[in-house]
Chain A
Amino acid sequence: MGESMSRGGGGRSRVVVAMSGGVDSSVAAALLKEDGHEVIGIAMQLWDYTEGDRGRPGSCCSTDDIYDARRVADRLGIPFYVVNMERAFYDEVVRYFIESYTDGRTPNPCLKCNQVVKFELLMRKAMELEAAYLATGHYARVEYDPVEERYRLLRGLDRNKDQSYFLFTMTQAQLSRTLFPLGGLTKGDVRQHARRLGLYVAWKEESQEICFVTNGSYPEFIADRVNAVPGEITDRDGNVLGGHNGIFNYTVGQRKGLGIGGGDPLYVLDIDRAGNRIIVGPEEGLFSVGLTAEEVNWVSGEPCGAELIVRSKVRYRHDGVESILMPVGGDGAVVRFRRPERAITPGQAVVFYRGDEVVGGGWIEGRIEGPVRRHAGRL
């Protein structure tokens, strides 16, 4: 059943595939076409790469990548369109990215892009083309549960590539119209398919970086767009240890670039937006016993009961920590970890799993510090 949902069943449907020019979405399009679907490729132009700034190769939406996507579509013999979503991308993703950092949070622009650009705007575009489904090259699975009459969002079978973390905002309505053709495959399978199909993108590197930060680092990108307000770096007790040039330069858990010499290594423990302060301390100060989340999405559409045992992933590359999850208020949640977790970072996503299933997720609002029993400062 999982396989059949990820590839749209045995019937022939019109499917719009979000094509980025990378290996994954190219193979996704090719497999759907092989299954007999009427496939339409769409690439989204999200950022204005002009004047020789063609974007970083391997980022998802540079001019060269759109060209790659077009070549793949031509090779597959499917219609291909480029839709311009620069404005929405700027308003919904880039602005969010800048504001998060200037608010002392660490954003996740790829997740936001999935939420508002791919599965809202592009989904709408697909429906306007009378497509039955929107497909992407994510490593995740959708399954229909006929007993509970609802869709389940599951991890990709390739545990190393699983991207379900980036999809926690998906609703039942979206899942019912979504295909993840790569959900049952490994990255190796996908590269093999790419070679078998003669897709010349088979060699392409993974996209890892933030696609719109094309030169320099993210702090430079933000510094070009906002006024940096210098402030103090202090310890927990308010003793001034140094200065900073804008809180957006920092993220919780950061050790490098603090400009404080001598003594034990210091880490960013907290970013105090109201006081425009960076609070640093030794590593043990980074550990939390839980967190609070906001804008929580329950994939089933219903919040879980009073308490649910889940594994919480607090960042993409995180194994997950066993936790007790409690819904709070309208769309909040409190998460208590079984063991203290390091560097809980406001602004990042926390995603709740039971087995392979994504129960839901939310955006980290704050950390719960507790009596942390530690031995010798090492965990």
Chain B
Amino acid sequence: MKKVYLDHNATTPVHPEVVDVMIPYLKEEWGNPSSIHWAGRGPRKAVEEGREKVADLLNCDVSEVIFTSSGSEGDNLAIKGVLEANRGKGNHIITTKVEHPAVYGTCKALEKIGYKVTFLDVDGDGMIDLDQLRSAITSETVLISVMYANNETGVIFPIKEIAGIAREHKVTFHTDAVQGIGKVPIDVKDLNVDILTLSGHKFYAPKGVGAVYLKRGVRIQPLIQGGHHERNRRAGTENVAGIVGLGKACEIARRDMERENEHLTRLRGKLEKGVQERIPFVRIHGQNAKRIPNTSNIGFNFVEGESILLNLDMKGIAASSGSACTSGTLEPSHVLVAMGIPLEELHGSVRFSLGRDNVDDDIDLVLNELPPLVERLRSMSPLYSAATGKGVDINFDTVCKH
């Protein structure tokens, strides 16, 4: 069976060039970068080269890059680190209703232990209202955290404007850019953000490595304490091979981004146009907003996205209904709920997220498989029958003759 992977927002395959540069740091250069002796020298150099490449992609100084294990760790470090460093100055956080669980869940947990959190609304296109943001800021506000691009819809937030508002009010601003980095150009100096989170495996580096951009002068308390690694901001022996891989992935992103963007934009356009032409009652969520080029969130009325996904999986097509970070369970998306998507459509949403290896054939396969699948599921749906006047074709209220 042909296998098609359209779930790159969940994770990406490791780029072959990334694998190649990592191998020596698993085989030969296995030393501890903190060691004073010969075994540590190669790894230490490699970590610093990796840091330079991350800094080049973000347009920041090497001293502003902290390596972490993941996007979730980076988000936790940013949020809890800033709150801890600002103890006594205030206890209010502003974020949005559509953040990734790494931010959303962290803020919910902080709310339970006494912090005040404002979760900003989004409109039907997934966009926040900057006036609502302005009026939410109080003298107690110590952190604003808004994602760069939404993982489910791909909608890009006006980070530069938000950073400007935060600056006016002297509030620290963090952006979870896990879905943006490697896909669109992100210049932290131009955006003027204070803290930014990225994760390696979302752009062809391996799992288990990420980074945080921390602007010079922004105060943060470490989350993980221990040794003096990462200039006292994140203890733990460096994941050398992972950092080397992350560096390489950043280098490749700079080199290939423009070409990849064109490729992904074209394929996504083909997918969305094809679906809209072949299948009635569909809606592309966030279509009117600025989006990262690889993500398409499509609502199929009258069916459950879950059923589409399971059937697609059986045909070898990997897609998702949203965040994969809820242990493989399928829940109605909090992002689409926040966007005010009607309930019957909410459950019928599927996220396709494309990547560098996808080709026209992949999209053709989806466009061949999806219409009969959606039609069959709808033929079992009383809601569809009621809305269209078509009969329910497959009725399991009748006895089945095997």
Contact = CB atoms under 8 A, between A and B. Distances in A.
Interface of A: 9, 13, 45, 63, 66, 70, 79, 81-84, 86, 123-125, 127-130, 132, 151, 171-173, 176-177
Interface string B364-390: 000000000000010010000000000
Interface of B: 304, 306-307, 310-311, 313-314, 327-332, 377, 380, 394, 396-402
B311 A128 contact: yes
A124 B396 contact: yes
A39 to B, nearest CB: 12
B330 A177 contact: no
Decide if the interface of chain B is mainly helix, strand, loop or mixed.
Answer: loop
Contacts of B311: 128-130
A337 B224 CA distance: 69
B400 A177 contact: yes
27 contacts: A9-B402, A13-B402, A45-B329, A63-B327, A79-B313, A79-B314, A81-B328, A82-B327, A82-B330, A83-B330, A84-B332, A123-B396, A125-B306, A125-B310, A127-B380, A128-B304, A128-B310, A128-B380, A129-B311, A130-B311, A151-B399, A172-B399, A173-B396, A173-B400, A176-B400, A176-B401, A176-B402
A128 B327 contact: no
A70 B397 CA distance: 30
Contacts of A124: 380, 396
Contacts, number: 60
Contact of B396 (A70, A79, A127): A127
B331 A84 contact: yes
A13 B402 CA distance: 10
A225 B377 CA distance: 37
A156 B310 CA distance: 32
A124 B394 CA distance: 11
Contacts of A82: 327-330
A128 B329 contact: no
Contacts of A125: 306-307, 310
Given A79-B313, A128-B311, A129-B307, A84 B329 contact: yes
A40 to B, nearest CB: 8
Given A127-B380, A129-B310, A129-B311, 13 more contacts: A13-B402, A70-B328, A82-B328, A82-B329, A124-B380, A125-B306, A128-B307, A129-B314, A132-B400, A171-B397, A173-B398, A176-B400, A176-B401
A83 B328 CA distance: 9
Contacts of A63: 327
A171 B397 CA distance: 9
A82 B314 CA distance: 15
Contacts of B397: 171, 173
Nearest to A120: B396
